[in-house]
Structure 1
Amino acid sequence: MGGASFTTTEVPVAPGTVLVLYTEGLVEAREHDLDERLEELTHLLAGTRPSLDEPAGTLVDGLAPTPAQDDVALLIARVGTSIPR
């Protein structure tokens, strides 16, 4: 974004923490309250899962409006763990 300034923030997280980044298109819907949608997102993410594919599918299926009202981007990553070979 031309000319916009940004600051960085460091947040310590434990190994194995799951980080979920998403655009507002996932949780904003004209006919729903944003706080309710964020609560639903939190509920859908509750519990531990060995695979990150499951929560990604659950979030998109459970939250993304159809047809889409906005672009939706979702990134889910497990922090500080190695991939078993």
Structure 2
Amino acid sequence: MPDLQEVTFKINLLQGSPITFKVGTDEEKRRNAAYRLEKAMDSSYVGIKLPDKLILMPTHNIQSIEIMPPPPHKMVNVVNDATLIDE
């Protein structure tokens, strides 16, 4: 049986309410996640395919994307092992 893990995504938009969704993923998909995320951010849109619809969001309307837990592999342009500080 594959090693399944649930990953939660929260897409914060510049205009509109955040979109939060979960995806079941296995080890192979987790290994490729960093690459896929970097490619998605280079694109003009990001898409989410749900059972009953497809959502396409232009990347210029995305403020930030939160991924919990984070991908296990390092990504270019990402600071690792950081701690947020409230000021």
Q: Shorter-normalised TM-score: what interval? A: under 0.3
**TM-score with structure 2 length normalisation?**
0.27
**TM-score with structure 1 length normalisation?**
0.27
Higher fraction of strand:
2
More contact order relative to length (CA 8 Å, sep ≥ 6): 1
Higher fraction of helix:
1
Task: Tell which structure's C-alpha radius of gyration is larger.
Answer: 1
